[in-house]
């Protein structure tokens, strides 16, 4: 068994060529990095939007909803960055979350005003668009048999 507990330069690691090949396959050119950051920022904004748009008092159910959805989108973004091979299959879930965010003011909220509706529609549309970009990137980088 190889001693893999060494420190220092990775070029001396016994599996360095295999790790490099796997890393290159996993990243698929790493054009996915252009999507990961905006997805995380969108999740962060979604979670903070009730306080930014000032509807914490008028829409308490929507505050909790957007906080949870923002955290979920942020966790998806972290997953896309940390384990893209496994997580990009969830891109379609982000598309569904985007659609849900668009219709949520009328379902979760109670008599939402124009600012709340515009806020959620923009967040939902961006989530849908970024989810489609993630799904397209995943489909493009998936090896064909």
pLDDT in tens, 6-27: 566 667 767 778 877 766 665 5
Measured between alpha carbons, how far is residue 46 from residues 20, 65, 96 in Å?
36, 10, 15
Cβ atoms of residues 71 and 43 within 8 Å: yes
Give the pLDDT confidence of 58-112 residue by residue, as tens digits: 999 999 999 999 999 999 999 888 877 777 778 899 999 999 999 999 999 999 9
13 phi-psi bin (left φ>0, alpha ψ -120 to 50, beta other):
beta
Instruction: Please list, residue by residue across 4-19, b when 16 or more beta carbons sit within 10 angstroms of its beta carbon and e when fewer do.
Output: eeeeeeeeeeeeeeee
């Amino acid at each position: 068994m190889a001693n893999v507990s060494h420190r220092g330069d990775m070029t001396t690691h016994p599996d360095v060529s295999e790790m490099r090949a796997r890393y290159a396959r996993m990243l698929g050119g790493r054009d996915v990095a252009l999507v990961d950051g905006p997805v995380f920022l969108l999740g962060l904004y979604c979670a903070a939007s009730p306080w930014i748009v000032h509807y914490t008092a008028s829409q308490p159910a929507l505050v909790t909803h957007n906080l949870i959805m923002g955290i979920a989108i942020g966790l998806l973004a972290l997953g896309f960055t940390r384990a893209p091979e496994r997580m990009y299959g969830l891109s379609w879930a982000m598309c569904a979350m985007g659609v849900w965010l668009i219709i949520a003011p009328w379902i979760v909220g109670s008599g939402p005003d124009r600012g709340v509706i515009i806020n959620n529609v923009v967040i939902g549309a961006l989530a849908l668009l970024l989810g489609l970009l993630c799904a397209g990137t995943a489909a493009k980088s998936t090896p064909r048999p």
